[in-house]
Amino acid sequence: MTLKWSHRKTLILIASLLIIISLAALSYYRWIYPTQQTLDQLQAEIDQQNRLIQTVEEQKQQLNAEIDQAEQLQAQLPLHKDISNLIQQLETIEQETSTSIVSITTNQAEQLEDNTAAEIAESQYVISLAADSYDNANRFLQQLTQLERIVEINQVEYAQSSPTSNLIATIGITTFFQPNLTNLSLSRDQTETE
Protein backbone atom coordinates (compact mmCIF):
# COMPACT_ATOMS: atom_id res chain seq x y z
CA MET A 1 0.00 0.00 0.00
CA THR A 2 1.44 3.20 -1.06
CA LEU A 3 0.26 6.57 -0.15
CA LYS A 4 0.13 9.24 -2.65
CA TRP A 5 0.27 12.62 -1.29
CA SER A 6 -0.97 15.28 -3.57
CA HIS A 7 -0.80 19.00 -3.52
CA ARG A 8 -4.53 19.15 -2.96
CA LYS A 9 -4.36 16.99 0.15
CA THR A 10 -1.60 19.22 1.52
CA LEU A 11 -3.76 22.29 1.04
CA ILE A 12 -6.71 20.56 2.70
CA LEU A 13 -4.50 19.53 5.60
CA ILE A 14 -3.09 23.05 5.99
CA ALA A 15 -6.58 24.56 5.70
CA SER A 16 -7.90 22.11 8.30
CA LEU A 17 -5.02 22.95 10.67
CA LEU A 18 -5.64 26.67 10.16
CA ILE A 19 -9.35 26.20 10.87
CA ILE A 20 -8.59 24.18 14.02
CA ILE A 21 -6.02 26.76 15.21
CA SER A 22 -8.42 29.61 14.39
CA LEU A 23 -11.25 27.88 16.28
CA ALA A 24 -8.93 27.27 19.24
CA ALA A 25 -7.79 30.91 19.24
CA LEU A 26 -11.37 32.13 18.82
CA SER A 27 -12.51 29.87 21.67
CA TYR A 28 -9.69 31.13 23.88
CA TYR A 29 -10.45 34.79 23.24
CA ARG A 30 -14.20 34.23 23.32
CA TRP A 31 -14.53 32.15 26.51
CA ILE A 32 -11.30 31.48 28.37
CA TYR A 33 -9.66 34.94 28.21
CA PRO A 34 -12.77 36.82 29.47
CA THR A 35 -13.22 34.25 32.21
CA GLN A 36 -9.58 34.68 33.23
CA GLN A 37 -10.03 38.47 33.27
CA THR A 38 -13.17 38.08 35.40
CA LEU A 39 -11.24 35.84 37.79
CA ASP A 40 -8.41 38.36 38.00
CA GLN A 41 -10.90 41.17 38.62
CA LEU A 42 -12.68 39.16 41.32
CA GLN A 43 -9.33 38.32 42.95
CA ALA A 44 -8.44 42.03 42.96
CA GLU A 45 -11.80 42.83 44.59
CA ILE A 46 -11.24 40.10 47.20
CA ASP A 47 -7.80 41.53 47.97
CA GLN A 48 -9.29 45.02 48.28
CA GLN A 49 -12.04 43.72 50.60
CA ASN A 50 -9.44 41.91 52.72
CA ARG A 51 -7.45 45.15 53.04
CA LEU A 52 -10.64 46.98 54.04
CA ILE A 53 -11.44 44.30 56.63
CA GLN A 54 -7.92 44.59 58.03
CA THR A 55 -8.26 48.37 58.20
CA VAL A 56 -11.62 48.09 59.96
CA GLU A 57 -10.17 45.57 62.45
CA GLU A 58 -7.29 47.93 63.21
CA GLN A 59 -9.72 50.83 63.67
CA LYS A 60 -11.89 48.64 65.91
CA GLN A 61 -8.88 47.78 68.09
CA GLN A 62 -7.95 51.44 68.30
CA LEU A 63 -11.53 52.38 69.18
CA ASN A 64 -11.66 49.67 71.85
CA ALA A 65 -8.42 51.02 73.34
CA GLU A 66 -9.92 54.54 73.36
CA ILE A 67 -13.12 53.22 74.94
CA ASP A 68 -11.07 51.45 77.64
CA GLN A 69 -9.25 54.69 78.35
CA ALA A 70 -12.54 56.65 78.42
CA GLU A 71 -14.07 54.08 80.79
CA GLN A 72 -11.07 54.41 83.13
CA LEU A 73 -11.38 58.18 83.07
CA GLN A 74 -15.14 57.98 83.62
CA ALA A 75 -14.52 55.77 86.65
CA GLN A 76 -12.46 58.63 88.11
CA LEU A 77 -14.68 61.47 86.89
CA PRO A 78 -18.12 60.11 85.89
CA LEU A 79 -20.53 61.90 83.60
CA HIS A 80 -23.33 61.80 86.18
CA LYS A 81 -23.53 61.82 89.97
CA ASP A 82 -23.49 58.01 89.88
CA ILE A 83 -24.82 57.81 93.43
CA SER A 84 -25.71 54.10 93.24
CA ASN A 85 -22.12 53.17 92.36
CA LEU A 86 -20.79 55.39 95.13
CA ILE A 87 -23.12 53.75 97.65
CA GLN A 88 -22.02 50.28 96.51
CA GLN A 89 -18.38 51.28 96.97
CA LEU A 90 -19.13 52.71 100.43
CA GLU A 91 -20.94 49.51 101.42
CA THR A 92 -17.95 47.45 100.30
CA ILE A 93 -15.61 49.61 102.38
CA GLU A 94 -18.03 49.37 105.29
CA GLN A 95 -17.90 45.55 105.20
CA GLU A 96 -14.12 45.41 104.80
CA THR A 97 -13.46 47.77 107.73
CA SER A 98 -16.04 46.39 110.20
CA THR A 99 -17.80 49.73 110.42
CA SER A 100 -21.43 50.70 109.97
CA ILE A 101 -22.75 53.60 107.93
CA VAL A 102 -25.52 55.17 109.98
CA SER A 103 -26.61 57.73 107.39
CA ILE A 104 -25.62 59.54 104.24
CA THR A 105 -26.97 62.99 103.54
CA THR A 106 -26.39 65.03 100.43
CA ASN A 107 -26.18 68.68 99.49
CA GLN A 108 -27.01 70.14 96.08
CA ALA A 109 -24.45 69.84 93.30
CA GLU A 110 -22.55 72.99 92.50
CA GLN A 111 -20.83 74.04 89.30
CA LEU A 112 -17.10 74.63 89.50
CA GLU A 113 -15.20 76.58 86.89
CA ASP A 114 -12.06 74.73 85.96
CA ASN A 115 -9.07 76.27 84.20
CA THR A 116 -10.13 74.30 81.14
CA ALA A 117 -13.22 74.98 79.06
CA ALA A 118 -15.14 72.05 80.55
CA GLU A 119 -17.20 72.53 83.69
CA ILE A 120 -17.00 70.16 86.62
CA ALA A 121 -19.88 69.65 89.00
CA GLU A 122 -19.56 68.45 92.56
CA SER A 123 -21.78 66.64 95.00
CA GLN A 124 -21.23 66.95 98.72
CA TYR A 125 -22.17 64.22 101.16
CA VAL A 126 -22.00 63.82 104.90
CA ILE A 127 -21.49 60.26 106.12
CA SER A 128 -22.23 59.28 109.72
CA LEU A 129 -20.16 56.22 110.53
CA ALA A 130 -20.23 53.99 113.59
CA ALA A 131 -17.02 52.15 114.40
CA ASP A 132 -15.89 50.13 117.36
CA SER A 133 -12.39 51.69 117.24
CA TYR A 134 -10.39 54.56 115.80
CA ASP A 135 -8.40 52.04 113.76
CA ASN A 136 -11.51 50.82 111.91
CA ALA A 137 -12.68 54.39 111.29
CA ASN A 138 -9.23 55.32 109.96
CA ARG A 139 -9.17 52.22 107.73
CA PHE A 140 -12.55 53.36 106.37
CA LEU A 141 -11.02 56.78 105.58
CA GLN A 142 -7.94 55.23 103.98
CA GLN A 143 -10.01 53.00 101.72
CA LEU A 144 -12.25 55.95 100.88
CA THR A 145 -9.21 57.86 99.60
CA GLN A 146 -8.13 54.84 97.55
CA LEU A 147 -11.34 54.68 95.51
CA GLU A 148 -10.85 54.91 91.77
CA ARG A 149 -13.36 57.75 91.70
CA ILE A 150 -12.07 61.15 92.76
CA VAL A 151 -13.28 61.72 96.31
CA GLU A 152 -12.20 64.66 98.43
CA ILE A 153 -12.51 64.37 102.21
CA ASN A 154 -13.46 67.80 103.51
CA GLN A 155 -14.14 67.15 107.17
CA VAL A 156 -13.70 64.42 109.77
CA GLU A 157 -15.09 64.67 113.29
CA TYR A 158 -15.05 61.98 115.93
CA ALA A 159 -17.45 61.72 118.84
CA GLN A 160 -17.95 59.11 121.55
CA SER A 161 -20.59 59.49 124.24
CA SER A 162 -18.95 57.00 126.61
CA PRO A 163 -15.84 54.79 126.62
CA THR A 164 -17.97 51.67 126.06
CA SER A 165 -20.09 53.03 123.20
CA ASN A 166 -19.26 53.01 119.52
CA LEU A 167 -17.20 55.78 118.03
CA ILE A 168 -19.25 58.02 115.71
CA ALA A 169 -17.35 59.64 112.85
CA THR A 170 -18.87 62.38 110.75
CA ILE A 171 -17.15 62.52 107.38
CA GLY A 172 -17.76 65.26 104.82
CA ILE A 173 -16.83 64.24 101.29
CA THR A 174 -17.08 65.81 97.85
CA THR A 175 -17.35 63.80 94.65
CA PHE A 176 -16.99 65.27 91.20
CA PHE A 177 -18.61 64.60 87.85
CA GLN A 178 -18.61 66.19 84.41
CA PRO A 179 -22.18 66.47 83.07
CA ASN A 180 -21.21 68.45 79.96
CA LEU A 181 -19.46 65.48 78.39
CA THR A 182 -22.50 63.22 78.02
CA ASN A 183 -21.55 62.51 74.41
CA LEU A 184 -18.71 60.38 75.80
CA SER A 185 -21.17 57.82 77.14
CA LEU A 186 -20.44 55.58 74.16
CA SER A 187 -20.17 51.99 75.25
CA ARG A 188 -18.40 49.05 73.68
CA ASP A 189 -21.78 47.40 72.87
CA GLN A 190 -22.78 50.39 70.75
CA THR A 191 -19.58 50.26 68.71
CA GLU A 192 -19.91 46.54 68.05
CA THR A 193 -23.39 46.97 66.60
CA GLU A 194 -22.34 49.73 64.21
pLDDT digits (tens, 9 = 90+) for 42-101: 999 999 999 999 999 999 999 999 888 888 888 888 888 888 999 999 999 999 999 999
pLDDT digits (tens, 9 = 90+) for 139-190: 999 999 999 999 999 999 999 878 788 899 999 999 988 877 655 555 545 5
Q: Are 153 and 175 in contact (CB under 8 A)?
A: no
- Give me the phi and psi of 163, to 5 degrees please: -65, -20
Amino acid at 86: L
Q: Which amino acid is at 32?
A: I
Give the pLDDT confidence score for residue 177 in this predicted structure: 86
Whole-angstrom distance, CA of residue 24 vs CA of residue 43: 26
**176 by DSSP, 3-state: which?**
strand
Candidates 97, 105, 92; CA nearest to 167 is: 97
Amino acid 115: pLDDT: 43
Q: In this predicted model, which residue has the larger pLDDT, 43 or 30?
A: 43
pLDDT tens by residue, 99-145: 999 999 987 655 555 444 457 888 899 999 999 989 999 999 999 99
